[in-house]
Amino acid sequence: MIERDAFSADAHRYLDGEPFRELEGGEFATADRLVAEAREYAERLPALDPALDEVVMAAVRRRTPARRRGGLAWHMAPRTVRIRPVWVGVLAAAAALVLWVAPRAPVPAAPTGAALRPVADTVYVRFELSAPKARTVSVAGSFNGWQVGALAMARDSSGLWSATAALPVGEHRYEFVVDGTRWVPDPTAHAQVDDGFGGRNSVIVVGPKGLVRS
Amino acid sequence: MTTIRTLLVTSLMLAAPAAAAAQDAGIEARLEARGLPAGLAHDVAAIAADASARGVPDQPLANKAIEGWAKRVPAPRILSAVRQFASQMSSARDAVRAAGIASPSGTVIAAAAEAMRSGMRAEQVRSVVRAAAAAEIAAPGLSVAAALAAQGLGGDQAVKIVVSAMRNHQSMADLLDLPSIARAMHDQGLSPGDIEHRILDGGDGGDRDGRRTGDHGDRPPLVPPVSRHDHAPGHLNFTR
């Protein structure tokens, strides 16, 4: 235990320069001696550099957080946001708009010839091609996304290939695909038109009543 | 409040480009899914985006690229065909607008473009569109006129038949029936001029007011809706 721990509360007040009520004689002597020793010790301490304040403050400024970190801290700290209720609705509408135009999964290919679909009817159409030497024949057109093999035709004993497809009412463009590579127009179609690639597409216009037999 | 307003304005400013970008991405992804190389798909999507920005439908352009790729057409030729089709649709859009449809649908524009590709002139397209009682009739009318013209009737005759049918308030079914009827008459040996006269005179099964009178007279019999494409089969002679 050091000496000041044995002091009374009034002795502490005396050392601190505060008002006190009563001290014993011994306490006065001890306190005065401690004060004298403290002063003597303080006088032996080296003098502080007058520029110490500036040095310390410069060090503090160097350690100031970067602006970016400050910005991040601003966002992370809890804030009170004041907003008019009407803006909640406006923001919700804007968010709905953004979500509505956001990329979506690709839509299945729409047939080219789907331009004409005034009636929701579907008509069964039979395609035929006489090609005795062919190994495979299929129909590719606007109604099946020009997929080779999507509508495969069956061969009978005479070499007549045929297939039946349910087509929406409207105009359709197509060709026969022989042996997977050879594109052949249908000579019985309503019309043959330029396909834009130097070839000819066959055209049929399917009405709700079906096709006309010649 | 300033921050919220900024967010709102930014969201709205991003909406339009986001919509265009989403559409581009959709077409590009669709083309790549069909096997088109990424570069070709990108170029086609760019053409489609440019066309879309000018009020021209973009899906027919993507479909044309898919058709070309399925037919194993070289990429430069596909791009050329897509550009040409975009240009044709732009002209078709102008023709349809000139006929009184201020904001034509993509369906009508595509039908008009196909008709013009089949040889119909802009004024013929305008005639058909003007005769249509409603915008949704214009597209089938154009397709039928184009099919008739491609059958050899000639553009003016084809337009005359379609316009007559529309003005006589024939049904959509009757209108769509015309290419089949013309084809059947052709197979019976009638000349294009005879076909025109017989259809206009009501020989297609309708009377002179355009009303259908039944499947009799000079009109070839109709195949029922569950029908056959029952012309003589195409005969293909080729050597492998």
Shortest CA gap A155–chain B (Å) = 13
Radius of gyration, CA atoms only, chain A: 49
- Comparing A62 with A40, the larger pLDDT belongs to A40
Q: How far apart are CA A79 and CA A120, in angstroms?
A: 57
B224 three-class SS: coil
Interface test with A, best of B24, B66, B176, B215 (most A CBs within 10 A): B176
| Neighbouring C-beta atoms of residue A69, cutoff 10 Å | 10
Shortest CA gap B227–chain A (Å) = 6
- Comparing A85 with B202, the larger pLDDT belongs to A85
Q: Which of B140, B233, B239 sits opposite A188 (nearest CB)?
A: B233
Predicted model pTM: 0.62
Average pLDDT over residues A59-70: 66
| Neighbouring C-beta atoms of residue B50, cutoff 10 Å | 14
Is the CB of B61 inside 8 Å of chain A's CB atoms?
no
- Are B234 and A209 an interchain contact pair (Cβ–Cβ within 8 Å)? no
Q: How far apart are CA B78 and CA B66, in angstroms?
A: 9
- Are A128 and B21 an interchain contact pair (Cβ–Cβ within 8 Å)? no
Interface test with A, best of B56, B236, B239 (most A CBs within 10 A): B236
Find chain A residues with C-beta within 8 A of B221's C-beta: 212-213
pLDDT in tens, A13-41: 887 877 777 777 788 888 888 888 888 88
Two structure tokens written together for A43: 């006088």
Please tell me the predicted confidence (pLDDT) of residue A117.
39
Average pLDDT, rounded, for chain B: 79
- Percent of chain B exceeding pLDDT 90 equals 45
Find chain A residues with C-beta within 8 A of B198's C-beta: none
Which domains does chain A possess? 1-74 (no CATH), 112-206 (2.60.40.10)
**pLDDT-derived band of residue B238, with 50, 70 and 90 as boundaries?**
very low
Lowest-confidence range among B27-41, B79-93, B162-176?
A: B162-176
B131 three-class SS: helix
Lowest-confidence range among A2-11, A33-42, A56-65?
A: A2-11
Q: Which single residue is written with the structure tokens 């330029």?
A: A194
Two structure tokens written together for A54: 């500036």
Please tell me the predicted confidence (pLDDT) of residue B19.
53
Q: Which of A116, A117, A197 sits opposite B71 (nearest CB)?
A: A197
| Neighbouring C-beta atoms of residue B209, cutoff 10 Å | 9
- E-assigned strand segments in chain B: 234-235
Our CA dihedral for A75, A77, A80, A82, rounded to 10 degrees, sits at 0
Two structure tokens written together for A162: 């045929």
Query: Which element (helix H / strand E) includes A79?
Result: none
pLDDT in tens, B58-99: 999 999 999 999 999 999 999 999 999 999 999 999 999 999
Q: Please classify residue A48 by burial: count the beta carbons closer than 10 Å to its beta carbon, then call 0-12 exposed, 13-18 middle and 19+ buried.
A: exposed
Closest alpha carbon within chain A to B23 = A103
Residues 14..73 of A with a Cβ closer than 8 Å to B: which?
A: none
CB A178 within 8 A of CB A137: yes
pLDDT in tens, A113-144: 333 334 457 888 999 999 999 999 999 999 99
Tell me: pLDDT of B35 over 90.
yes
Taking Cα atoms as reference points, which of B93, B71, B95 lies closest to residue B81? B71
Closest alpha carbon within chain A to B239 = A133
Shortest CA gap B127–chain A (Å) = 18
Residues 133..162 of A with a Cβ closer than 8 Å to B: which?
A: 133-134, 140, 142, 145-148, 160, 162
Find chain A residues with C-beta within 8 A of B139's C-beta: 115-116, 118
Q: Please classify residue A107 by burial: count the beta carbons closer than 10 Å to its beta carbon, then call 0-12 exposed, 13-18 middle and 19+ buried.
A: exposed
Two structure tokens written together for A164: 């039946």
Size of interface A-B (CB pairs under 8 A): 257
CB B139 within 8 A of CB B108: yes
Closest alpha carbon within chain A to B81 = A196
CB B185 within 8 A of CB B150: no
Two structure tokens written together for A17: 């320069």
Please tell me the predicted confidence (pLDDT) of residue B5.
59
DSSP string across A128-181: EEE-TT-S-EEEEEGGGTT-TTTEE-EE-TTSEEEEEEEEESEEEEEEEEETTT
Rounded to whole angstroms, the maximal C-alpha distance in chain B is 80
Please tell me the predicted confidence (pLDDT) of residue B224.
32
- Comparing A159 with B214, the larger pLDDT belongs to A159
- Are A190 and B114 an interchain contact pair (Cβ–Cβ within 8 Å)? no
Lowest-confidence range among A5-14, B95-104, B123-132, B223-232?
A: B223-232
Taking Cα atoms as reference points, which of A97, A109, A105 lies closest to residue B22? A105
CB B115 within 8 A of CB B145: yes
Taking Cα atoms as reference points, which of B114, B142, B147, B8 lies closest to residue A212? B147
Residue ranges of domains in chain B: 18-98, 104-220
Is the CB of B1 inside 8 Å of chain A's CB atoms?
yes
Lowest-confidence range among A2-6, A80-84, B61-65, B229-233?
A: B229-233
Is the CB of B192 inside 8 Å of chain A's CB atoms?
no
Lowest-confidence range among A52-61, A63-72, B6-15, B41-50?
A: B6-15
Two structure tokens written together for B7: 């967010």
- Are A106 and B14 an interchain contact pair (Cβ–Cβ within 8 Å)? no
Where b means 16+ CB within 10 Å and e means fewer, A116-145 reads bbbbebebbbebbbbbeebeebbbbbbbbb
Is the CB of B139 inside 8 Å of chain A's CB atoms?
yes
Q: B123's torsion region: left (phi>0), alpha (psi -120 to 50) or beta?
A: alpha
| Chain centroid to CA A79 | 26
Interface test with A, best of B227, B237, B238, B240 (most A CBs within 10 A): B227
pLDDT in tens, A181-197: 999 999 889 888 899 99
Average pLDDT over residues B166-172: 84
ipTM (interface predicted TM): 0.74
